Structure 1
């Protein structure tokens, strides 16, 4: 029996091969010879995640949860990972597929290894962490409101109030009390108001 042209099989080569993806078939039975990465009678399916090769007979050797190329044993790492088995997270300063992109953040801020979004440290905000918090905000992305009174300075990193000399408490809301020799006490802040001096 003579060889049939591509895509044909059977006696006198009159029948069409049922194979998809331009696969060849047996000239006698019409059974498809699937290339690596495909399976089923018409080679219509790619290997399911986690398998590859001829008849999808091989198991991927990738990190847990990662798939491989359905044709050959090459792990398909998600953004943020690299290495033959996707076993390495991106190093600081890089992100994306195969960790090939560089972060564009200022103040040595890290970026998300998957998306590249800058992860601003406390006291900074903006797409590149290029802006310092306003005087009344602090924390990551300047998302927290300062609670300082009487003109106290708010630390933009931790929100701690730096009180003027005559005020106390975490929020600088309590006047400083001085004990006098006669065991009476008075507020320095209140006394400054009575004498016409401005409290800080």
Structure 2
């Protein structure tokens, strides 16, 4: 009994008509474009292709699936896999790759974009980056090596350097003009034209000392080393290296008080001010402490008073006091007489005077 259609046909075989079963067209009836061996009738009297092969889609296998291209609706045409790198998508009809990576282009992303170079097969194309000053054309370079076409005097893959002995790309690669004394070599930087300077030397041509340096020579320039306390600034004379000293300060680096002064500070040095009577050398004192050199029996920074148990400051110094027989008495520093210490009273000078306090033996009260 003929109750169903043969493979490759669809319809209702039980109606008894000669055209009950019709040939499947998936999508065309021609064998070359009939890609599904089976189909079945749908609820609306149409048909559905049931075995579309890999790469085809649609109810009649009439379209190429994603990742494939072609037009199954044209006799002799089929769906072929996209040939794009990394499995990228292509146009479903033409097969042209839709998304090229790594600065590539072309039907199959097979070449680098203009002004790029590298390996398109690896999706690795880089910009030419031809230097605007040194290149004949900034948009063209060798598609494999990236070498730009250089103007005369320029070298380098990007034509961004000058030939040996030349420098300063932006100025057209001029002859190096390094100062013979201040430069380590006569060659200059092939890009900037700047020379390699000796220590302490500055300038594109190495023709001057750095700030706060002096004595330009074949070995470089020396640091001024001006004393930060004793100098008015850190700069010095370019020839001698002498720093600009504050008041009463001397030395090349301004680190010493001049004779007769002491106490180097932000204000300079202050006068010794030694007492002309009590000091051996009124115009001299220790540069750090300001202590003057005192005559015998004299004390104080400026040698301005008699030491304890001495009296009578004079050009000879101070005289030694006689021993005081009275308990608690001391020698008066002016007269040499035995007297009570300051602000004390009583037979043995052991009591503070009214409105005084803090008794100390031999020193008195306050």
Q: TM-score, with normalisation over the residues of structure 1?
A: 0.40
Q: Which has the higher contact order (CA 8 A, sep 6+)?
A: 1
- Structure with greater helix percent: 1
